[in-house]
Structure 1
Amino acid sequence: MLNRENIENLLTKGGNVIGSDGEKIGSIGQLYADDDTGEPTWVTAKTGLFGTSQSFVPVEGAHSQGDDLVVPYSKEHVKDAPRVDVDGHLTPEEEDRLYTYYERGARTYSESQNDVDLQGDADLNAGTPTAGIDSDRRADRGTVGHDTSGPTTDDAMTRSEERLHVGTERETTGRARLRKYVTTENVTKTVPVQREEVRLEREPITDANRGSALSGPDISEEEHEVVLHEERPVVQKEAVPVERVRLDKDVVHDDVTVNEEVRKEHIDADGVDRDGRR
């Protein structure tokens, strides 16, 4: 059996009122309890555009299902219930209309607040709401409906969405520098060289050389020498500038695809027919 604490927990969790046909009637609006016993007697279901209307449903026979409240009446039956203002208390006349509609029998009220009917239920002459929407009315009667989840603003909801703005920022990705170092390698070159060698020549005495041959003593000892020469490679090294090297920068253009999630608000109309009328 449902008690006040059970239904208030459903209110806190934002549960829905589900009909016996399995269809959602609306979200749970307010809980009405008996003034004497504090036991829940009525609960309202928010219906109409943005939940601007509330239909009263008896708590008796209802049961919880997860975060929802399942009542033993169909969605259409609840939506056709007599319209009663959610203004803090139910008058005896209003309760009579609701009891008659839900075929629970009209209540008998007396001056005593402790009267008990034939079924043993406590007198519900002044059922009091314990949780749900703010029951204050808009002073501005030109506004249709009122907010049910926060302070009343105007007659429209603002739908917002996130926009993606992509820019660029400059950051350091690396450094480049020039460094000079010395290596050694072998270079081979072929250089032509000359050298002198001695060749012995003999010639006979002729009239042409007779004078030279008889110019010395007849018999003597003597030496004659020839100086020989040859070329050898001479290696010299010099440092010669061959090029100049510097660092420069080029700007390269690329296309980068950015993939990011953005949020959008959507607005659904509950209880509105296709032609826009309730």
Structure 2
Amino acid sequence: MIDQTHVEALYDCDVIDNRGEKIGSVKRVWLEDGTGKPMWAEVHTGLFGMKESFVPIQQGQVAGGAITVPVTKEQVKESPSMHTDGDHMSDQEQEALYRHYGMIPQAKTGEHDRLDGKGGNGRQAAGQRGQQAAGQRGTARGDAAEVTLSEEKLDVGTRSVETGRVRLVKHTVTEQRNITVPVTHEEVRVVREPAEGSSGKAFADEQAEITLHREEPVVQKRTEAVERVRLEKDAITEQKDVKGEVRKERVEVERDDEPRGRR
């Protein structure tokens, strides 16, 4: 059972349905007039949390920074829209919520689902951060009166998304290379010089020969590593403008001792 001791812990906590699915987060808590029992949680739902829905929390269970309620996420999405007058809910709005969630008021037993039929005051909002006094719009201390003003803040974070992929692909190409290589070859020349003495082979046929050589280019191939190529990532930080709507509360001073036209 939820009671007044849980009110402070309910703000901004996650609301989980009876199947374990997250419904949204609590932004306001509505109390029962007279008893101050927590009755409904005003929950921000939808894709961007822009829709406000009412969820019954009388039989909820609070644990681990979340409250589990005995209704489904679909029921909450289809719940009737409430146009509350100030910080109070009318009898008609209460009855519409009870009918939608299949809850039966038990006025005689005083249980959690009892409707307050006195004067149509309905349930009072708990305000922001645990103002639990029923039928009161602020706090009076002696000769001073005060109200608490709240405003929404934008909490902006970042998430990593994939923008593309870059890969290295190696393939083979063939190209022509022209290389100049020096080569050597042998040529013959005739050298004549005077002979001395006598020859034993005079007037006999005779021949002499030498072998000539030349160099020819020889092409061979060898494979060697010439370069390493790799991909590296650098993180570049840039400034992005983020826009969002936030609500804030303002206060006006009204006097009952002046004519309405002068307020």
TM-score of the pair, normalised by structure 2? 0.46
Greater C-alpha Rg = 1
Whose RCO is larger (CA < 8 A, sep 6+)? 1
